[in-house]
A and B are shown apart, each in its own frame.
Chain A
């Protein structure tokens, strides 16, 4: 089974975001970059499927600058067999990123294409299902797990008020969220091995995009709050404020 995992290089979730002087990008100084956390669930799911089946190939793919090779090496260190860097700068239009991935994956012989359910920078939550549509493949989004039996992908999906069990015939696209499994840490041996694994680079077929970013700004500061009091005695005053001042109850 051939599994492609599409990942993205993003700022660390613990990073403080500062806007650069151009007003349309973030100040990267001192910011650590990571594999988007949901993509790690996708990598882990792919590795487990391969291990369970006892055969197969896991290929990590990204659209990104040369620096994104670092995240591909991270995926290789976790256990992916090879990696493809589609060189280009993914913009704010996810449709273009999807187009570049679809072009690269169209004839790649994938049985399963996994994504994290969203990248934690642009937060659009759209590239996975777009690739599914472009390749005319069934797609399950926000899956907590993925199993394969008899050529069918089987996923659990949390929805409002319950859990759905969904299935789709392979080849299929699945976007992953956090489930019961934790992504593995790369071992030292894995990190050493990753250096020798193939990492292919080619140009991404990336259009200009039709979502134009006018500006990035920091969210308005919340006005200074106040401590109403200490302990249960403060509850009466809190309820009064919620009712009379905030008018939310």
Chain B
């Protein structure tokens, strides 16, 4: 029988939204071929408490592996644990989330299993048990449809693209002893950012600023707009402002930054260079706020406001706050 395995990502004792997405996508795939959905949950002691949640998002069986070294993400230990588990059980397809953790982990597992990896899929389609994977290339300027001629088929899924579906369902929980091997990469220190902000690649709402923001000291209005959404939003930036040193590269959206697919993307003072558009054109709804009515960003925006960001954005934040709370 066909079996699909979802690697469930958790952090600090909670499943991440991408774990719901990955398990749901695994379920959809398994159902299309009459197969079973499995989830792999790794972590430190106590992580098994998250297993029922994976059942609700579609797992028939949740395999729980606990070890102290798996409490936080550590590349060698995780790659070893996942690869040896997959090797032992054999699956047709293994799905990862293409988060910063998943993008680090999946290629290592692929090399250990000696199978290819299709990264960052936005569409999965089965036909006579063949799996067709569509993924953006050239930072979203083109789409590649590929087929993996190997088993298991390893695929990572772009966050925010596969909608999680909760259902009434309970999973069988099975515990095992993970093989963690030797850890050569060591975490010396973790420096926390203020308030543990969401990453731009995973947020469902992204507010990006460009050169029209005039200077790094003027980002407060964007931060206020982000906060108005109550923890669902993250800040993004254009390449121009990252190159100018106004914002960190981690926020950059576009071909040399992150490719994002949030439900709502608000571009403020961004003209819309081709390499920026490539990085955000798969967003659900795009809003552009720009002084220049001829800015290319208006060509891809669903809704535009022509005007001064410093007048429009505070008003928008106020309206969102009134709406959300």
Asked if A241 lies at the interface with its beta carbon under 8 angstroms from chain B, I say yes
A209 contacts across to B, CB distance below 8 A = 116
CB distance from B179 to the nearest CB of A (A): 15
What count of chain B residues pass the 8 Å CB interface test?
Answer: 94
**Contact residues of A between 1 and 37, Cβ < 8 Å to B:** 11, 13-14, 16-17, 19, 26, 37
Q: When the two chains form their complex, are residues B255 and A13 in contact, meaning their CB atoms are under 8 A apart?
A: yes
Residues of chain B from 266 to 299 with CB closer than 8 A to chain A in the complex:
273-275, 281-282, 284-288, 293, 298-299
Q: Which residue of A lies closest to B189 (CB)?
A: A165
Name A93's closest neighbour in chain B (CB-CB): B116
In the bound complex, do residue B286 and residue A120 qualify as a contact, i.e. CB atoms below 8 Å apart? no
Contact B138 A178 (CB under 8 A): no
Q: Does A122 contact B (CB under 8 A)?
A: yes
Question: Separation in Å of the B301 CB from the closest CB of chain A?
Answer: 5
When C-beta atoms are compared, the residue in chain B nearest to A37 turns out to be B256
Q: Give the CA-CA distance A237 to B198 in the complex, in Å.
A: 28
Question: Contact between A162 and B196 (Cβ–Cβ < 8 Å)?
Answer: yes
Could you say which residues of chain B place their CB within 8 Å of the CB of A164? 187, 189-191
Q: Which residue of A lies closest to B109 (CB)?
A: A133
A54 part of interface (Cβ distance < 8 Å): no
Chain A residues near B117 (CB-CB < 8 A): 94-95, 124, 126
For B306, give its contact among A94, A123, A227 (CB under 8 Å).
A227
B227 → chain A, closest Cβ, in Å?
A: 14
Q: How far, in angstroms, from A226 to B242 measured CA to CA in the complex?
A: 29
Which residues of chain A are within 8 angstroms of B188 by Cβ–Cβ distance? Answer: 154, 165-167
- Residue numbers of A with Cβ under 8 A of B are 11, 13-14, 16-17, 19, 26, 37-38, 92-95, 98, 120-130, 132-134, 138-142, 144, 154, 158-169, 177-179, 209-219, 222-223, 225-232, 234-236, 238-239, 241-243, 246, 248-249
23 contacts between A and B (CB under 8 A): A14-B274, A123-B137, A133-B79, A134-B111, A140-B185, A161-B192, A166-B185, A166-B188, A167-B188, A178-B242, A210-B149, A211-B147, A214-B132, A217-B143, A225-B286, A225-B304, A226-B303, A230-B305, A230-B307, A234-B305, A241-B303, A246-B264, A248-B285
Interface, chain B (partner A; CB < 8 A): 75-76, 79, 99-100, 103-104, 106-108, 110-112, 114-120, 132, 135-150, 184-193, 196-199, 202, 205, 229, 242, 248-250, 252, 255-256, 259, 263-264, 273-275, 281-282, 284-288, 293, 298-308, 311-312, 315-316, 319-320, 323-324
